Structure 1
């Protein structure tokens, strides 16, 4: 578990790096604030100042990695040491897949990852909704998920996102511990056909895990659900955000048609 001082130091360093490099770092703050162990975070201090940070984020058998180093302290080996410690820990814990995350516009991050043998895998857009008129929609019901929905939530993650059953179960169990998150099930004619999660923090509403069973895709359900969720979150005073893989042309087109615009991009590299 990270202390309040460590969390503040990480946030301060993040702001400094983002301002200096004109980038957006994806540090998964909802996970940082709810750590059950300190074995996934690596911090290097000098004179009580945080110089570099590396975080591991477990998603079932996959671990995502993101880090940063003070602009004034770069090229001194600080981050390399944390990276080596982090990779050793990831392998020790038995993760089957290691994904290294870097802002798409960061040439320094790309150079570091390539130098250390990482291979580019895919990119992800972070999108923000630009306010526009959305019509009222019907033909489905959104309801808060209950314990009885766990099997369907796992099934949706397996069928819509290609996760293993074990990874899907681990992710859904972690989500249930987040008090700032709403998990909604999507029902059509009293049959559950999908799910959508909304995480609210600091005036922002983030949409995650939006999925419809393959047998019910192509019927316009997803578009209707997204319109309602975006409309409700916007009317409650939140800016609305989501993430999508750049290769998912169908989803990208859907989001853009409703009013989402790309604001940041993240690259993911695989590491053995």
Structure 2
């Protein structure tokens, strides 16, 4: 569990790195603040100052890695030290896949990645809604999920995302246990999909896990859901954000059609420790 002071130091280091490199790091703050142990985070101090940080983020049997080093303290092997410790922890923990995450425009990250023998996997756009007129919505309900929705939530993850069922059960169990703002999408009294809304600092509302069962796709439901969420969150004074894989042209087109615009891109690389 990260202490309050550690969270402050990580945030300060993030701002310094982002300002210096002109990028946006993906540190999954919702997960950092909810840590229940210190086994997923690696911090390195010099003379009482945090100079490097690496976080692990578990998604079922996949673990993502993201971190940073103070600009003036780079090329000293600090991140490699943290990375080696993290890999040892990952091996002991039984994860099946390791993904390294880095901002697409980060030269510092690419320099490190080139030494690790990684393979490019995919990229994601981080998108932000740009204010524009939206049509009214009708005929659907976004209700707060309850524990009774667990099995349906697993089914949606498997069928809509192609996720392994075991991974889906692990992830949905954590989601429900964390009491996050999961919404079930209901049309004509049938549950057809889900999404989660996470309110971050600086008034940002992030949409995660937006998915609709295959048999209900292509009917305009997704567009209506997005319009309703956007209206709700923007009326509350929040900016609205989401992520989408760059190769998912259908989803990308849907998001752009209601006013989302890509503002940052994150690259993901597979670490070949079991390949």
TM-score by length of 1: 0.97
The runs of 4+ residues in structure 1 deviating greater than 4 Å are none
Q: Does 1:27 align with 2:8?
A: no
1:105-254 counterparts in 2 under 5 A? 105-179=105-179, 181-202=180-201, 203-254=203-254
Tell me how far apart the structure 2 counterparts of residues 150 and 221 of structure 1 sit (CA, whole Å).
Answer: 21
| Alpha-carbon offset, residue 228 of structure 1 | 0.6
| Alpha-carbon offset, residue 141 of structure 1 | 1.5
Tell me how far apart the structure 2 counterparts of residues 178 and 261 of structure 1 sit (CA, whole Å).
Answer: 30
3-state SS in 2 of match to 1:26: coil
| Alpha-carbon offset, residue 266 of structure 1 | 0.2
3-state SS in 2 of match to 1:176: helix
3-state SS in 2 of match to 1:88: helix
| Alpha-carbon offset, residue 263 of structure 1 | 0.6
**Cα RMSD (Å):** 1.0
How many residue pairs match? The answer is 271
Tell me how far apart the structure 2 counterparts of residues 140 and 221 of structure 1 sit (CA, whole Å).
Answer: 8
What do residues 127-183 of structure 1 show as CA deviations (whole Å, max 9, x unaligned)?
00001111111121211111111001011111111111121122122222445x321
> Do 2:30 and 2:200's aligned partners in 1 also have CA atoms closer than 8 Å?
no
> Do 2:147 and 2:176's aligned partners in 1 also have CA atoms closer than 8 Å?
no
| Alpha-carbon offset, residue 201 of structure 1 | 2.1
3-state SS in 2 of match to 1:206: strand
In structure 2, the partner of 1:82 is: 82
Q: Does 1:43 align with 2:54?
A: no
> Do 2:57 and 2:63's aligned partners in 1 also have CA atoms closer than 8 Å?
yes
In structure 2, the partner of 1:58 is: 58
Tell me how far apart the structure 1 counterparts of residues 249 and 185 of structure 2 sit (CA, whole Å).
Answer: 23
TM-score by length of 2: 0.96
Q: Which runs of 5+ in 2 are unaligned?
A: none
| Alpha-carbon offset, residue 229 of structure 1 | 0.8
Tell me how far apart the structure 2 counterparts of residues 90 and 222 of structure 1 sit (CA, whole Å).
Answer: 37
3-state SS in 1 of match to 2:266: strand
Tell me how far apart the structure 2 counterparts of residues 169 and 87 of structure 1 sit (CA, whole Å).
Answer: 25
Q: Which runs of 5+ in 1 are unaligned?
A: none
| Alpha-carbon offset, residue 259 of structure 1 | 0.3
In structure 2, the partner of 1:69 is: 69
| Alpha-carbon offset, residue 87 of structure 1 | 1.1
Tell me how far apart the structure 2 counterparts of residues 246 and 122 of structure 1 sit (CA, whole Å).
Answer: 8
Tell me how far apart the structure 2 counterparts of residues 173 and 216 of structure 1 sit (CA, whole Å).
Answer: 25
| Alpha-carbon offset, residue 256 of structure 1 | 0.5
Tell me how far apart the structure 2 counterparts of residues 114 and 160 of structure 1 sit (CA, whole Å).
Answer: 34
3-state SS in 1 of match to 2:218: coil
Tell me how far apart the structure 2 counterparts of residues 209 and 270 of structure 1 sit (CA, whole Å).
Answer: 22
| Alpha-carbon offset, residue 20 of structure 1 | 0.6
3-state SS in 1 of match to 2:72: helix
